[in-house]
Amino acid sequence: MTDSPFAVLTTVVAPAILTNACSVLALGTSNRIARVVDRVRVISDRIMALPADDPECLYWEKQLVGLRQRARSLFWALRLIYAALGAFASAALIAIVGSALAVTGMEPVFQASAIAGLIVGTAGVAGLAVGCVLMVTEVRLALSQTQEEAEFASAHHSVSGIGRTSPAAQPMPPPPAGGGVL
């Protein structure tokens, strides 16, 4: 270990930055979970409002199955992100304690703490990576569900106005000549 007071800071910086990144990712994941929960409530209300024999119920029940898959992916991702957050915070603390031990001349204990910090930090990186893979899986499910819902809406109601005969769907008349106001 060097005599520089910045050596300890250098050792702690990587886990501290990763801890911050995990915190931001955990917040985003929690927000996505909240959106899934809100969507489940909306769809559940919609199903309850329909007659039991309505064929539309099958579509919405299928949407609930997809939302359950999304929720499972998000909850596992959040667990792993929290575990990674704890691992990075622990690695930072181990680095600080190890650096303090290096100054006191306890070389074998310093080496053991360096190995422990490396193992804990590596576990944190692995948890973060798997959590991110689960987030990508959830995003793919969300995009697939959004596309299915848009197709369902288009098939049952003209969203774009194409094919409608109401006055609202008619194109606006061209402006008067000379650019005057209507």
Q: Over the stretch 78-122, which tens digit does the pLDDT of each residue have?
A: 999 999 999 999 988 888 888 777 777 777 888 888 899 889 999
- pLDDT in the model for residue 177: 61
* Average per-residue pLDDT for the chain: 83
Give the type of residue at 30: S
CB atoms inside a 10 Å sphere around CB 77: 27
| pLDDT greater than 60 at residue 171 | no
Token couple for 11: 């050792």
- pLDDT in the model for residue 9: 66
Report how far Cα 106 is from the mean position of its chain's Cα atoms: 43
- pLDDT in the model for residue 182: 40
CA distance 75 to 70: 9
- pTM here is 0.73
Long-range contacts (CB closer than 8 Å, 24 or more residues apart) made by 61-65: 63/145, 63/148, 63/149, 64/40
Q: Are 85 and 22 spatial neighbours (Cβ–Cβ below 8 Å)?
A: yes
Percent of the chain clearing pLDDT 90 (strictly above): 49
Looking at per-residue confidence, does 55 or 175 come out higher? 55
CA distance 38 to 43: 9
**6-19: pLDDT as tens digits:** 666 666 777 888 88
Q: Tally the C-alpha atoms within 13 A of residue 31's C-alpha that lie toward its C-beta.
A: 6
